[in-house]
Amino acid sequence: MTRTRTAMLAALTLVAGASGTALAAHSASAGAAAPACTVDYKVQNDWGSGFTAAVTVTNNGAATSAWSLGWTYGGSQKVTNGWNAKVSQSGAAVTAANESYNGTLSTGGSASFGFQATYSGTNAVPAAFTLNGVTCNVDGGGPTDPTDPTDPTDPPETGDRVDNPYEGAKVYVNPEWSAKAAAEPGGARVANQPTGVWLDRIAAINGVNGGMGLRDHLDQALAQKGSGELAVQLVIYNLPGRDCAALASNGELGPTEIDKYKTQYIDPIAAILADPKYAGLRIVTTVEIDSLPNLVTNVSGRPTATPNCDVMKANGNYQKGVGYALNKLGDIGNVYNYVDAGHHGWLGWDDNFGASAEMFKTAATTEGATVGDVHGFIVNTANYSALKEDHFKITDSVNGTSVRQSKWVDWNRYTDELSYAQAMRDKLVSIGFDQSLGMLIDTSRNGWGGTARPTGPGATTTVDTYVNGGRYDRRIHLGNWCNQSGAGLGERPQAGPAAGIDAYVWMKPPGESDGASKEIENDEGKGFDRMCDPTYQGNARNGNSPSGALPDAPVSGHWFSAQFQELMKNAYPPLS
């Protein structure tokens, strides 16, 4: 069972390549009958030993419920994989048959697909094509009685999306992050780990300061994919009035610029992801971290309220932006949307948990989105909450005092991210999300290893000595989030690690700063948040505790060597 709606239409639009040869659809001369079918074949990328191609076939004859396009190569071309069609090859002969979702071709209807192939020598365009046995691009023809070319003994297709995009797939290694990690002493030990690609401003779509843009990453992902499956992780992160409660991660768009968000940010991303060239990738999107929960916890009536969050709740642009993104991206058959669901140290309390789940549903049914556009949720994105606390449970008590009454837990119902993620999943399913909903947990910085890692429970003198002596998470307070001292790399990315969990991921690239430890001028719209200042003594959101932040940090998203070294030193499981 798939978790998101099948949104691929029978008539798909061909996105032409920037280079390569093309066999254009022939038009009939005056007085001649139209061709039975026309084919547009474009080589999109050719690197001398291989290429990708996009093909659109148009049926001008009687409608058919299934189609098979055939052609023969005159050279050494060998198809290695395809998308939006079942592409196979025998000798020089190639056959592309429809998928379950694009088999219907009405009169005048079209379908598009793509493929990748190798070759040596020349790469000539095929001379002729046939649709269900009828020659295309020839004036005066007419289709014979088309038959269904599919084998009725074939098992039925279950849809264009798989249940877990990480299962059986490699995950994209960002070469820019990998190079920075490898350049650090000892960094080669983790430089091959997959991390998220953050699209944190409009300029990031095409690349900032000569860096890789979205198409560059997707092209590199195709190269890494080879003949197997590959998932590529993108962070959609540019809401108007972004992150209303944390200045360090403010963005370029003002609170009212929802139209700019739609037309200059989401629409261009959706257009690129919909390119048939990338249909063979499993594209995982993490949608707008640290946004919707703010509308529950940091608004009027709460001691943690901020005026900016009141503005965003009143204008509804967080919900509108998330809904629009889910709708547009959810229409692309190989995109898997995961909405950010905070973390247990933010939403684990009774008055936050259910209200946040309802807020997620509101956003997922706004601007044309449906709950079917949500494949899952992600927790602990760019945060530090421990994956699993082994030395105390929420049901424990010390001398008759519940663990929930400890200063660290403070009446929260969850002690770690795994229990929170599984409970949030159950809650979301109960209010209408898909039964097969999957969760991701960001484990990039929640290992908390090193010499400070407890090896057993704390002393049972008081409930606080018990919890504090046994907890892995060594932060001063659960509300601390910026460049935390003592943190370590967590579990390495892996698929299906626990019930209801699609994967542990490194969505936040380790070594990229959470925010500057002092005010630094920048052109990225990012402010200075005192929670990133190691001298700061706190506010209501962290129990008026010291920030626990590392000194000398750069602006958020910039490389922070000292933090990367600390994360490696304190990794758990340890690095070898």
Q: What are phi and psi of 78, to 5 degrees?
A: -130, 120
If we measure between CA atoms, which residue out of 111, 79, 107 comes closest to residue 93?
79
On whether the CB atoms of residues 41 and 101 are closer than 8 A, the answer is no
On whether the CB atoms of residues 252 and 201 are closer than 8 A, the answer is yes
Q: Amino acid identity of 533?
A: D
DSSP sequence for 74-88:
SS--EEEEEESSEEE
Q: How many helices (H) and strands (E) does the chain have?
A: 12, 21
Type and span of the H or E element at 505? strand 501-505
Separation CA 187–CA 336 (nearest Å)? 30
CA angle 111, 116, 121 (to 5 degrees): 125
Cite the active site residues: 290, 514
On whether the CB atoms of residues 533 and 542 are closer than 8 A, the answer is no
Residues 6+ apart with CB under 8 A from 570: 447, 448, 449, 450, 452, 453, 486, 487, 488, 489
Q: What angle separates helix 350-364 from helix 417-430, to the nearest 10 degrees?
A: 50
Separation CA 59–CA 38 (nearest Å)? 7
Q: CA dist 201 to 102, 204, 240, 246, Å?
A: 34, 5, 11, 17
Separation CA 44–CA 22 (nearest Å)? 9
Q: What are phi and psi of 303, to 5 degrees?
A: -65, -15
